[in-house]
C-alpha cells in the first residue's frame, strides 16, 4: 500500500527535474506599489512572458509594496546586482545618474504625450546610455502621469498659498530647490513614511499623481489637491548591468520584448487608473482645484533652471533638445 505513493513521488521528482532545470536564473524585482497598481499588473505580465519566452531559464519574482527596501536603497541594490530588476522612478535616480535630473526639472515636459515622444525617441536612448554607465539597463519606460501638490491645510491657488507649508519631496536636492522657490519648506522622505507624517503633522503635504495619492491613502488625511502638474517623470524597468551581462543574447532579446509589451500595457492601464483614482478621492471628500495662476508656478522655476544649468553646463543641450521636441 505504501509503495505506490513513494513511486509516484519519485516519478514526480524526476519529471520536475526535467521541467525545471537547476540552471533557472531567479530574478527578484523591486516595486514600490501595491499589487493592483498598473505597474504591478504590468510587471506580473512581464514575469509571465519572460518565463515563457526563456523557457523557464529566467524566473522573475515581483516584490510589491517596497518590501525589499526604499527606492534609493533599491536602486543601489540593483546597481550592485543584489537585486536583478527594479521599477524605478527617475526622481530619486537623479542623485546617482546626473543626466536623469533633467527629467526632474519642473515643467520640462509640456504634457505626457510630449514626454512619450521624447522618451521613445533618440533622446530616450541618451538617458538609457547614462543609466547603463551607472550599472542599470533600462529596458522600457512606464508612465507616472503628472504630479501636483496636496496638503492638509488649504487649497493652493498661487505660490503665495504655499508659504510656510512643509512638503515631503522625493530624495533629490532638485525638489528641495523647487519647493524653496515656491516659498514653502521641503522635507525629503521615503514614500513609505509619508502617510504617518501627514497624519501626525510632521509635514503638511506632499506631491504626487492621482494613483499614488490614492493607493498610498494620503488622500484620507490630505484633503486639498491642487493641480499644478509641475512634474512629469518617467519610470523604467531597469535590470542590473551585471545580471544582464551574464544573460545569453537570445534571452536578452526575449526579455527586452517582454519589457516593451509590459510598458504598452502599463501605459494603457495607467490612463484608466488615473481617472478611477481621481473619482475615488473626490468621492472621499478631497477638494480638487486647478491652480488659478499656472504661469506663476512656471516662472517661479526660472532660478531653479538657472542654478541647475550653472551647476551642470554639460546638460544644457539635453534640456534644449527636450524643449525643442515637437
Ligand atoms: C510615485 C512613484 C514611486 C515613488 C513615489 C514617491 O509616483 O511611482 O516610484 O517615486 O511616487 O513619491 O516616492
Instruction: Kindly give the distance from the C-alpha atom of residue 170 to the centroid of ligand 1, in angstroms, as a whole number.
Output: 8
Cell 515643467, located at residue: 107
Predicted confidence at residue 225, as pLDDT, reads 98
Partners of residue 166 on adjacent β-strands: 185
Give me 120's grid cell: 521613445
Cα separation, 245 vs 61, in Å, equals 20
Beta strands 235-240; 136-142: pairing state = antiparallel
Give me 307's grid cell: 542654478
Q: Which of 246, 201, 184 lies closest to 25 in space, CA to CA?
A: 246
Q: Are 254 and 54 in contact (CB under 8 A)?
A: yes
Q: Per-residue DSSP letters for 109-131? A: SSSHHHHHHHHTSHHHHHHHHHH
What domains lie within the chain, and their CATH numbers?
Answer: 23-143+233-276 (3.40.190.170), 146-232+282-324 (3.40.190.170)
Predicted confidence at residue 18, as pLDDT, reads 53
Partners of residue 161 on adjacent β-strands: none
Q: Per-residue DSSP letters for 68-125? A: T--HHHHHHHHHHTSSSEEEEEHHHHTTTSGGGGGGGSTT-SSSHHHHHHHHTSHHHH
Q: Are 228 and 176 in contact (CB under 8 A)?
A: no
Instruction: Kindly give the distance from the C-alpha atom of residue 191 to the centroid of ligand 1, in angstroms, as a whole number.
Output: 7
pLDDT in tens, the chain (326 residues): 333 444 444 444 445 555 555 469 999 999 999 999 999 999 999 999 999 999 999 999 999 999 999 999 999 999 999 999 999 999 999 999 999 999 999 999 999 999 999 999 999 999 999 999 999 999 999 999 999 999 999 999 999 999 999 999 999 999 999 999 999 999 999 999 999 999 999 999 999 999 999 999 999 999 999 999 999 999 999 999 999 999 999 999 999 999 999 999 999 999 999 999 999 999 999 999 999 989 999 999 999 999 999 999 999 999 999 999 99
| DSSP for residue 192 | G
Q: CB 229: neighbour CB atoms within 10 A? A: 20
Predicted confidence at residue 229, as pLDDT, reads 97
Tell which one of 175, 208, 218, 237 to mutate to probe ligand 1, the residue whose CB is within 8 A of the most ligand atoms: 208
Residue nearest to atom 13 of ligand 1 (CA): 191
Q: Are 240 and 81 in contact (CB under 8 A)?
A: yes
Q: Rounded to whole angstroms, what are the CA distances from 214 to 53, 220, 284?
A: 35, 8, 10
Judged by phi (left if over 0) then psi (alpha if -120 to 50, else beta), residue 229 lies in left
Beta strands 85-89; 235-240: pairing state = antiparallel
Q: Are 181 and 303 in contact (CB under 8 A)?
A: yes
Sign of CA dihedral 109, 110, 112, 115: negative
For residue 259, the surrounding DSSP H or E stretch is: helix 249-283
- Ligand 1 neighbours (beta carbon < 6 A): 32, 71, 89, 91, 144, 170, 191, 208-209, 212, 235
Residue nearest to atom 5 of ligand 1 (CA): 191
Amino acid at each position: 500500500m505504501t509503495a505506490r505513493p513513494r513511486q509516484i513521488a519519485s516519478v514526480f521528482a524526476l519529471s520536475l527535474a526535467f521541467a525545471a532545470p537547476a540552471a533557472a536564473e531567479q530574478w527578484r524585482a523591486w516595486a514600490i506599489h501595491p499589487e493592483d497598481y498598473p505597474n504591478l499588473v504590468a510587471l506580473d505580465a512581464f514575469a509571465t512572458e519572460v518565463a515563457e519566452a526563456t523557457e523557464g531559464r529566467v524566473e522573475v519574482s515581483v516584490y510589491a509594496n517596497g518590501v525589499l527596501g526604499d527606492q534609493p536603497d533599491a536602486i543601489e541594490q540593483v546597481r550592485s546586482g543584489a537585486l536583478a530588476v527594479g521599477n524605478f522612478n527617475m526622481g530619486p535616480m537623479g542623485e546617482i545618474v546626473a543626466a536623469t535630473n533633467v527629467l526632474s526639472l519642473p515643467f520640462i515636459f509640456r504634457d505626457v504625450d510630449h514626454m512619450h515622444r521624447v522618451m521613445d525617441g533618440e533622446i530616450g536612448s541618451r538617458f538609457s546610455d547614462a543609466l547603463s554607465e551607472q550599472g542599470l539597463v533600462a529596458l522600457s519606460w512606464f508612465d507616472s502621469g503628472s504630479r501636483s501638490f496636496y496638503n492638509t491645510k488649504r487649497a493652493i491657488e498661487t505660490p503665495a498659498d504655499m508659504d510656510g507649508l512643509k512638503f515631503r519631496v522625493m530624495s533629490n536636492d532638485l525638489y528641495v530647490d523647487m519647493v524653496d522657490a515656491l516659498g514653502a519648506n521641503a522635507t525629503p522622505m521615503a514614500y513609505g513614511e509619508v502617510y504617518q507624517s501627514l497624519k501626525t503633522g510632521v509635514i503638511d503635504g506632499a506631491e504626487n499623481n492621482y494613483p499614488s495619492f490614492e493607493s498610498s491613502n494620503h488622500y484620507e488625511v490630505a484633503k486639498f489637491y491642487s493641480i499644478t502638474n509641475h512634474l512629469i517623470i518617467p519610470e523604467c524597468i531597469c535590470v542590473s548591468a551585471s545580471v544582464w551581462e551574464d544573460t545569453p543574447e537570445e534571452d536578452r532579446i526575449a526579455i527586452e520584448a517582454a519589457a516593451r509589451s509590459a510598458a504598452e500595457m502599463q501605459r494603457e492601464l495607467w490612463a484608466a487608473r488615473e481617472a478611477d483614482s481621481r473619482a475615488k478621492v473626490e468621492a472621499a471628500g478631497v477638494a480638487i482645484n486647478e491652480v488659478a495662476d499656472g504661469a506663476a508656478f512656471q516662472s517661479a522655476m526660472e532660478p531653479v533652471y538657472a542654478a541647475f544649468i550653472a551647476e551642470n553646463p554639460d546638460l544644457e543641450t539635453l534640456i534644449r533638445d527636450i524643449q525643442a521636441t515637437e
